[in-house]
Structure 1
Amino acid sequence: MMQNSQTTETARGLRSRRTRLLAGAMALGVAGVLSAQTVVPNQFALADAVKVDVAGPTDFSPVVTAVQPAVVSVRVKQEVEPRMMNFGGGRGDNFFEDLPKDHPLQRFFRQFGEQGQPQGRGGERQQPRQYGMSQGSGFFISEDGYLVTNHHVIDKGTEFTIVTDDGKEFDAKLIGADKRTDLALLKVDADREFTYVKFADDAPHVGEWVVAIGNPFGLGGSVTAGIVSARGRDIGAGPYDDFIQIDAPVNRGNSGGPAFNMKGEVIGVNAAIFSPSGGNVGIAFAIPASTATDVIMDLRDDGSVVRGWLGVHIQGVSDDIAESLGLDEARGAIVADAQDGSPAEKAGLKSGDTILSVDGTKVEGPRELSKIIAAYEPDTDVDITVWRDGKEKTIEVTLGKLPEAEKVASAEPVAPERTSLDDMGLELVTTDEAGVDGEGVVIAEVDPSGAAAEKGLRRGDRIVEVAGVAVKTPSDVVKAVADAEENGRKAVLFRIENNDATRFVALPMNIG
């Protein structure tokens, strides 16, 4: 019995010790887990999630109430081209000319033509002058009656009527218009003060609320709301495109109307919509306040906008073109052609120069260059930094006044010769053999599977420069390509002309 008692006691001790050990191990395990949970977050702390405390407005009525009296409908009387009607047997818009000569209808219309209004030659009769009516939107920018609208709203207009928010009508006169930015300034002379709005000083942010007020489909005083979708849009409307894109419902008749921020400031002038059907699809474009302010002030002062003129045809710099020129990145605007007699030509700018900056302002591309130059007054001296022959060069240019019509250069033919550039998929001939006028070498054939076809070169295009070297014969082209390859270029730059237009194309070379 003694032995069994001792055995039982020993077993109990072992179990107790095992229990203590297990408890200790579990405690260590838990401590380890807890330690990991407390240390890891401190070592890999994450930033707080974005929090927005400002909510969008649920009520636009305070803004609308304040600005709506400044927004107007613009009615434009336009002269319609008269239509010539022929009632005397001559060819024209006579729908009865195939009837027999003694047909009663023929006699009726002939008699009508003789006894009616005066006829022109061959029995033609000029119809009375006819007019059409178009409608748009606008807004007052001063209490004495100056108001802004679009150029395309007032284009070809002979009379202008302004209808205010309270239904009153006033005659207006055209102060000036600028087709390039699609802006116009009208003036109402009346013995009263008008409610007016001002342009915003700061550009809107993408996502910011916007309210559009205008005259869609002739429904004056219509209000729509949305947000700014994007900025800096280039829609191909002109050289100074810099539109604000908004998703507020804008339709026909909203043109010339304002887009407001929540302070009641005009952030843009509604000018265009993207719509396959002609109705709103949530994409509208407004001229920024920054552009409109400068243009409208010029129109108010002089009735027109005077812009600086450089006188170059330009294009963007692609990665291939940058490589062929030795530029570290695709930037600037490459000069395709300096126009005859232009400030650029007089200063020494030439085809192939890549304009990098103007008075220290960096040029990202052609659109930026156009806006920078246009902002200067004529006769202003500017320092233009160009990339030429693998290095930067600064040229001082005295800007001129932007003309209405641009000049185009001409050239002379050269002696006949013919050859091929198989690696690029081109067959070349002289201008004489091709029977065309102009300098350079004519592309006679383009291999549809070659690099030239891929870059958009076509039969009839003229190559006037290769790697900055003027070419007059096909052998000149071959030599210039070989020189570029010898210099380690992966692509060679071609200056191409067609139909008086100039562009640059970088063609890759097969370098082993």
Structure 2
Amino acid sequence: MRQWLAIASMSLAFAGGVLPAAQAQVATAQPSAALPDFTEIVARTEGSVVNIRTTETVAVRPSGFGPGGGSDPYEMFRWFFGPEFSPPGAPGAPGPQRRGETPQQPQERTVPRGVGSGFAISADGYILTNNHVVDGANEIFVTMTDGTEFNAEVVGTDPRTDIALLKVDAKDLTPLPIGDSHQLKKGQWVLAIGSPFGLDSTVTAGIISAINRETGDYLPFIQTDVAVNPGNSGGPLLNLAGQVVGVNSQIVSRSGGFMGISLAIPIDEAMRVVEQLKEHGKVTRGRIGVQIGEVSDEVAKAIGLGKARGAMVSHVEKGGPAASAGVMPGDVITSFNGTDIKQWADLPRIVGETKPDTAATLEVWRKGKAVKLKVTVGEMPSEATQTAQREGPVAEPEKTDVLGLAVADVPEQARKELGIKGGVQVRDVRAPANAAGLQPGDIILTVGDTDITDAKQFAKVVSGLDASSKAALLVLSDGQTRWVLVQPKAK
């Protein structure tokens, strides 16, 4: 019994002495794991965030009640179904014109168009927002958190990056400090301030979910789980230092509301656009006149590149900068002016940021080796250049080979139109080439490292292919060039 009491006493001593110490250790560790306090950041920054509302002018049908118009019982329906709504036989509805009656002319009305957000980037009235917030607006109103309202003018817009720069008549705005979006890391805390659904100065917080999320040629987005809804567009994405690291722009949603994925424009990209908009009112970008695609790991190994990297040239614009520099379809651009092209989407952005008329060095992978070319960067046109269309008769089909292809020489006229010196045109496609996506009418320019000159030479090259490995074919189709891998049949 005494032994049992001794053990019980020891247990009580452990419970009364050791356990409180462990609890103290847990209590000490809690503050380091606590959520950040955003109150001080919000207090410093929300006064620089603005609400943006826009209006537009729409045509409406005259009411037809009395000489001066009067009330219209169908007006409510027009708000829902559009200004052209009018039930048959209703006043103002289309119908036969009475003799001597003057046709009623359409009237115009200014109506609300949309609501968005923005933020001050200078004390003298420059406001940064999204292009889609102000696009098509007749009037733009900027409202500060204290209720002060300004009429805003558009300094310039850039639809490609969805950036717009506005100017209001103010001299004492508090600009938000600009951060460095290149320093962002996954898991980092960020917060957004804006006007979702018109609710001014709403603050939401979350973390960086991904960086450099590719969704466009010129814009690597910041992906977050910060709650962003319609009306947040154009508002700032802030780090814990209260610096702007992004411009909230898009949501990924099936319902139109927040679903855990929001996208922001990196502030570095946005400010580069702002500088040009301030100086010129528009953005000028460089171009070299190529259409590009992704280089898969399988294609990279087949052409001796080793690993998937660079941008595969699918089309070279005739007379363009790249054509003048000697770039050819099938080349893989691996470097531009000393900057490695890690993935194909890097190239348009890097070239676009280069000033037109700049002399640059291209490094391309061609036939198993690196080739350096000199190119003079051109200016991006306002509209996309149309690709050349090819037509023309072809010769009679031949028996299919180990690739499942029947080919013929490319007619001279078609070669001139396409700007090619050789190649063969596919007349029939069977297994295994059909499984690789080849179609009649495609033009095969290269097999491995061998340029194809005509059907006879193509047959000789194909007959020597190793059936144990896939053959890499450079194929021209509808003005686009791509690498296609085909496993030859065993002889």
Letter in 2 for 1:481: V
1:22-49 C-alpha deviation (Å, 9 max, x unpaired):
xxxxxxxxxxxxxxxxxxxxxxxxxxxx
Partner residue of 1:160 out of 112, 118, 140: 140
User: How far apart in 2 are the matches of 1:110 and 1:470?
Assistant: 73
Aligned twin of 2:102: 115
User: How far apart in 1 are the matches of 2:399 and 2:301?
Assistant: 24
Letter in 2 for 1:343: P
Aligned twin of 1:41: none
Displacement of 1:135 in angstroms is: 1.3
Aligned twin of 1:40: none
Aligned twin of 2:486: 507
User: How far apart in 2 are the matches of 1:395 and 1:260?
Assistant: 42
SS in 2 for 1:110: coil
1:143 pairs with 2:130: no
User: How far apart in 1 are the matches of 2:33 and 2:284?
Assistant: 44
1:278 pairs with 2:256: yes
| 1:238-257 superposed matches below 5 A | 238-257=216-235
1:333 pairs with 2:311: yes
1:442-482 C-alpha deviation (Å, 9 max, x unpaired):
656655xx44444444x455225233767687666544534
Partner residue of 2:189 out of 209, 216, 224: 209
Aligned twin of 2:329: 351
Aligned twin of 2:174: 195
User: How far apart in 2 are the matches of 1:369 and 1:210?
Assistant: 29
- Describe the shift of the 1:353–1:96 C-alpha distance in structure 2 as closer, same or farther (beyond 3 A): same
Aligned twin of 1:481: 462
TM-score (norm 2): 0.78
Letter in 1 for 2:344: P
| 1:415-454 superposed matches below 5 A | 415-419=394-398, 421=400, 423-426=402-405, 447=430, 450-454=431-435
User: How far apart in 2 are the matches of 1:94 and 1:285?
Assistant: 37
**Structure index of larger Rg:** 1
- Describe the shift of the 1:64–1:164 C-alpha distance in structure 2 as closer, same or farther (beyond 3 A): same
Aligned twin of 2:301: 323
User: How far apart in 2 are the matches of 1:52 and 1:491?
Assistant: 61
User: How far apart in 1 are the matches of 2:403 and 2:34?
Assistant: 58
- Describe the shift of the 1:396–1:116 C-alpha distance in structure 2 as closer, same or farther (beyond 3 A): same
Letter in 2 for 1:334: M
- Describe the shift of the 1:271–1:451 C-alpha distance in structure 2 as closer, same or farther (beyond 3 A): farther
1:396 pairs with 2:374: yes
Partner residue of 1:233 out of 198, 213, 216: 213
1:287 pairs with 2:265: yes
Aligned twin of 2:71: none
Displacement of 1:492 in angstroms is: 1.7
Displacement of 1:322 in angstroms is: 1.6
User: How far apart in 2 are the matches of 1:117 and 1:104?
Assistant: 12
Displacement of 1:304 in angstroms is: 1.2
User: How far apart in 2 are the matches of 1:107 and 1:373?
Assistant: 55
Letter in 2 for 1:308: G
Displacement of 1:333 in angstroms is: 1.0
Displacement of 1:68 in angstroms is: 0.4
User: How far apart in 2 are the matches of 1:172 and 1:301?
Assistant: 18
SS in 2 for 1:180: coil
Contact 1:431 1:438 in 2 (8 A): no
Partner residue of 1:490 out of 470, 482, 487: 470
User: How far apart in 1 are the matches of 2:30 and 2:402?
Assistant: 59
Q: Which shifted more, 378-387 or 471-480?
A: 471-480
User: How far apart in 2 are the matches of 1:159 and 1:451?
Assistant: 61
| 1:55-66 superposed matches below 5 A | 55-66=33-44
Contact 1:419 1:474 in 2 (8 A): no
Aligned twin of 2:348: 370
Figure out how many residues of one structure are paired with residues of the other and give that number: 434
- Describe the shift of the 1:451–1:173 C-alpha distance in structure 2 as closer, same or farther (beyond 3 A): farther
Aligned twin of 1:409: 388
1:157-205 C-alpha deviation (Å, 9 max, x unpaired):
2221101111221001111111111111111113x41121022125211
- Describe the shift of the 1:111–1:479 C-alpha distance in structure 2 as closer, same or farther (beyond 3 A): farther
Aligned twin of 1:6: none
User: How far apart in 1 are the matches of 2:232 and 2:101?
Assistant: 47
Contact 1:466 1:494 in 2 (8 A): yes
User: How far apart in 2 are the matches of 1:104 and 1:252?
Assistant: 37
Displacement of 1:264 in angstroms is: 0.5
Letter in 2 for 1:154: V
